[in-house]
């Protein structure tokens, strides 16, 4: 392994000579002054993604990257492994939804790049294909972002995305005939809708533009009502900043409307990256009034993360005064959080979610690694455990909450493929679901999982999950793939990954870090990697890498680091603070230029998480997060592949693009810095063909640079 690592520099020279030369990126300095501090930006010009020069730059970068990666022998083998592992599960079912006796679901075969929507009359009834996104318009590439059957199961709204752009076009189908109604509704984020109690239409919130790069696309959006068989242009605005001026709605907050499961209440809420809910409540009949008499249900200072109505009660999952969470209960029709009763007090385990079926409340709790699910029956006021047959990550999915107690329970772990169960809360009987499909993967029996806690730079103990094959020698010669995120309070929960298995079966150690910024240890853990405390996130990641090196799991010449999306802050600052620690880094659709995030379409909505340049304290924090601004000329940086999607509505492509340009100009290590540009992908895509190629490119590049023998170009390996 060490011999191959030493070949990295001559390999680069040979590959670069064989590939199209990469043109130099001109520096055109722009100086901004933030509260008296001048900050120079050499590549501001790359932010103009409508400029032919900028588009040509991204194309040249993408072409160069493709030629380099095409010469790595293990890349295509990785793609083939992903395909082979995918085929081991003969079909995949997901998003099962029950309406009366009708079951709607997505099914994907190994031979299909995206899933299709099907219907069964009865759980085991004959299957009917309802919608095939590939056949919808053969001249374009579509996938289904979301689908929602009406309450009576007679209609189906399908959200269609093109090229991974996420902004969907909504089409409505009459289920019995499969005919599409004439109207289309464009630019709906994720395709999320909620049907009226009468099924005569639905509630939805569109973006202002179909262009994911439009800076005004996400601002001042409006929740609307659509009546079937009417043009979308006639859809009335029901809830918005303009409609409700006294609510002090920010331009970046996303107004949404939906009904309680029993359709006795309608909620108007504001979506943002702030997990604390801000929600108003009204009667469904009030939607017909010129002025809807909204009443506040919860405010951000209540620190309610989720809520639901079950019978006459409102149940709220709150972290106010309880960092690990507690469940409050109040009268649903006269809610008063200040006087609410505590149904489930804060305990040692962290509450992560609440859902309900017709008669039961389900609460998921986590001990930092494994989930536990408890059910509560308001009729008897009794708690009981859902009898999970294993450990790991579990969830409850109600199939038809207002009318049925039918639920699905899912369970997975680092080395356990997902299993789906049908669960009856009345009898507490758990049985394998008809929608569960078994798969046998190679190498699972040889995997070892270690759950560790390692000392962070300030002495805080940081969780670290390791997965590797039996017989590991701690001699520093193993390649280690270390991933991290640490943002928005999202925890890195145990879950089976076919992509990880492909690495593990090539002898790679997989290390999943749990840095501050997630919620592995509750809300205090989240807030310890947030805005001004954000440096803890990448310092925890670095501490995990140092631990792995110190204890012989790997060495700097074999350590790969990866961060995706908001995890781009983590990986970008890790390599700019400790370039000596990594052989290679993957900066995937990454937030890399934090000081300029507010100038991107999805930037303003992220201010509650990261901060604003308009605030002097938060501005300094953003500067600390900014990997682009911390690139120093004359530094020996690791090999880096930056990845951006031209259709990405979440992280605009110039964020990773500017980091790539800066690293290419600054690094003196001789190791490659590549910019992979995806034109058939956004932030992500369901399309398996695109996804498999995308991750194979990233992994192959990193494994090449970390010295894996299966990824060294043959012509050089022979020398």
Q: Which is more confident, 686 or 191?
A: 686
Percent of the chain residues past pLDDT 90, beyond the cut: 91
pLDDT at 715: 58
Q: Which of 33-42, 132-141, 196-205, 376-385 has the lowest mean pLDDT?
A: 132-141
Stretch 634-643: mean pLDDT = 98
**CA dist 483 → 80, 465, 501, 514 (Å):** 23, 10, 14, 9
Residue 578 has pLDDT above 80, yes or no: yes
What CATH architecture does domain 52-85+441-717 belong to? 3-Layer(aba) Sandwich (3.40)
Ranges for all domains in the chain classified under CATH 2.130.10.120 = 92-206+224-235
Name which of 328, 311, 332 is nearest 267 in CA terms.
332
Q: In the beta sheet, which residues pair with residue 513?
A: 464
Give the burial string for 190-217 (b: 16+ CB within 10 Å, else e). Answer: ebbbbbbeeeebbbbbbbebebbbbbeb
Residue 398 has pLDDT above 60, yes or no: yes
In the block, tokens 């099962």 appear at 96
In the block, tokens 């991107």 appear at 600
Residue 14 has pLDDT above 50, yes or no: no
- Using DSSP's 3-state secondary structure scheme, residue 617 falls into helix
In the block, tokens 């992509």 appear at 499
pLDDT tens digits, one per residue of 480-498: 999 999 999 999 999 999 9
Stretch 542-556: mean pLDDT = 98
pLDDT tens digits, one per residue of 700-719: 999 999 999 999 987 544 33
Name which of 409, 386, 306, 399 is nearest 95 in CA terms.
399
**Judging by beta carbons within 10 Å of its beta carbon (0-12, 13-18, 19+), is residue 520 exposed, middle or buried?**
buried
DSSP state of 530: S
Q: Which strands form 639-645's sheet, in the order they lie side by side?
A: 447-455, 461-469, 509-513, 480-484, 559-564, 584-588, 639-645, 673-678
Q: What is the mean pLDDT of the chain?
A: 94
Residues 593/619, Cβ–Cβ less than 8 Å: no
**CA dist 413 → 132, 228, 431, 659 (Å):** 32, 43, 19, 34
463 phi and psi angles, rounded to 5 deg: -65, 145
pLDDT at 20: 59
Stretch 683-696: mean pLDDT = 91
H runs (alpha helix) in 551-687:
567-577, 607-610, 616-625, 654-666
Longest CA span, the chain: 79
Q: Identify the CATH number of the domain defined by range 92-206+224-235.
A: 2.130.10.120
| 565's tokens | 């999306």
pLDDT tens digits, one per residue of 118-166: 999 999 999 999 999 999 998 899 999 999 999 999 999 999 998 777 8
454-455-456 Cα angle (round to 5): 115
Residues 316/276, Cβ–Cβ less than 8 Å: no
In the block, tokens 């209960």 appear at 329
Stretch 308-326: mean pLDDT = 97
Residue 5 has pLDDT above 60, yes or no: no
DSSP state of 553: S
Q: Global pTM?
A: 0.94
Ranges for all domains in the chain classified under CATH 3.40.50.1820 = 52-85+441-717
**Which residues, at least 6 apart from 317, have a Cβ–Cβ distance to it below 8 Å?**
304, 305, 306, 307, 325, 326, 327, 351, 353, 354, 363
């Amino acid at each position: 392994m060490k011999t191959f690592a030493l070949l990295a520099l001559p390999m680069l020279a040979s590959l670069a000579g064989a590939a199209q030369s990469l043109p130099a990126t001109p520096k055109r300095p722009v100086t901004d002054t933030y509260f008296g501090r001048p900050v120079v930006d050499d590549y501001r010009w790359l932010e103009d993604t409508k400029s032919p020069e900028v588009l040509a730059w991204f194309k040249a970068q993408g072409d160069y990257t493709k030629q380099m990666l095409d010469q790595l022998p293990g890349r295509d083998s990785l793609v083939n492994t992903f395909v082979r592992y995918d085929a081991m599960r003969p079909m995949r079912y997901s998003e099962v939804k029950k309406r009366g006796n009708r079951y709607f679901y997505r099914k994907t075969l190994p031979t299909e790049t995206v899933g299709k929507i099907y219907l069964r009359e009865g759980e085991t009834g004959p299957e009917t294909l309802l919608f095939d996104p590939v056949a919808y318009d053969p001249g374009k590439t579509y996938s289904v972002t979301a689908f929602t059957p009406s309450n009576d199961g007679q209609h189906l709204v399908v959200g269609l995305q093109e090229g991974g752009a996420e902004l969907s076009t909504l089409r409505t189908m009459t289920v019995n005939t499969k005919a599409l109604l004439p109207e289309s509704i464009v630019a709906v984020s994720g395709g999320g809708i909620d049907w009226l109690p009468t099924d005569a239409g639905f509630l939805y919130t569109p973006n202002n533009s179909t262009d994911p790069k439009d800076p005004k696309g996400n601002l001042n959006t409006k929740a609307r009502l659509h009546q079937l068989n009417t043009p979308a242009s006639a859809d009335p605005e029901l809830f918005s900043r303009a409609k409700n001026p006294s609510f002090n709605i920010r331009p970046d907050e996303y107004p949404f409307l939906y009904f309680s499961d029993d359709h006795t209440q309608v909620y108007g809420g504001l979506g943002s990256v702030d997990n604390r809910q801000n929600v108003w409540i009204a009667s469904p009949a009030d939607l017909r009034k010129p002025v809807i008499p909204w009443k506040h249900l919860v405010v951000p200072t209540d620190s309610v993360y989720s809520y639901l109505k079950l019978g006459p009660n409102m149940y709220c999952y709150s972290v106010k005064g309880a960092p690990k969470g507690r469940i409050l209960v109040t009268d649903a029709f006269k809610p008063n959080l200040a006087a609410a009763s505590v149904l489930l007090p804060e305990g040692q385990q962290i509450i992560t979610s609440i859902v309900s079926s017709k008669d039961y409340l389900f609460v998921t709790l986590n001990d930092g690694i494994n989930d536990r699910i408890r059910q509560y029956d308001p009729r008897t006021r009794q708690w009981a455990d859902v009898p999970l047959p294993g450990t790991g990550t579990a969830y409850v999915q109600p199939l038809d909450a207002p009318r049925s107690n039918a639920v699905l329970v899912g369970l997975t772990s680092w080395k356990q493929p997902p299993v789906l169960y049908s669960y009856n809360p009345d009898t507490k009987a758990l049985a394998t679901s008809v929608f569960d499909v078994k798969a046998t993967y190679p190498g699972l029996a040889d995997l070892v999982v270690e759950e560790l806690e390692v000392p962070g730079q300030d002495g805080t103990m940081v969780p670290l999950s390791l997965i590797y094959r039996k017989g590991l020698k701690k001699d520093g010669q193993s390649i280690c793939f270390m991933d991290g995120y640490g943002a928005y309070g999202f925890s890195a929960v145990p879950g089976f990954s076919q992509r990880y298995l492909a690495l593990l079966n090539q002898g790679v150690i997989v290390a999943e870090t749990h840095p501050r910024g997630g919620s592995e240890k509750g809300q205090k853990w989240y807030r310890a990697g947030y805005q001004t405390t954000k440096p803890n996130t990448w310092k925890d990641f670095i501490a995990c890498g140092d631990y792995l090196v110190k204890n012989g799991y790997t060495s700097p010449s074999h350590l790969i680091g990866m961060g995706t999306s908001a995890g781009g802050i983590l990986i970008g600052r890790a390599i700019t603070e400790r370039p000596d620690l990594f052989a290679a880094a993957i900066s995937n659709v990454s937030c890399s230029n934090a000081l300029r995030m507010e100038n991107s379409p999805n930037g303003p909505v992220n201010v509650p998480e990261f901060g604003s340049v308009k605030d002097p304290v938060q501005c300094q924090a953003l500067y600390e997060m900014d990997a682009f601004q911390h690139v120093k000329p004359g530094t020996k940086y690791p090999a880096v592949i930056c990845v951006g999607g031209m259709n990405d509505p979440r992280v605009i492509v110039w964020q990773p693009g500017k980091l790539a340009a800066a690293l290419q100009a600054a690094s003196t290590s001789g190791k490659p810095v590549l910019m992979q540009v995806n034109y058939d992908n956004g932030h992500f895509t369901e399309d398996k063909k695109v996804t498999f190629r995308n991750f194979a490119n990233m992994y192959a590049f990193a494994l090449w640079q970390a010295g894996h023998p299966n990824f060294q170009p043959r012509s050089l390996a022979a020398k």
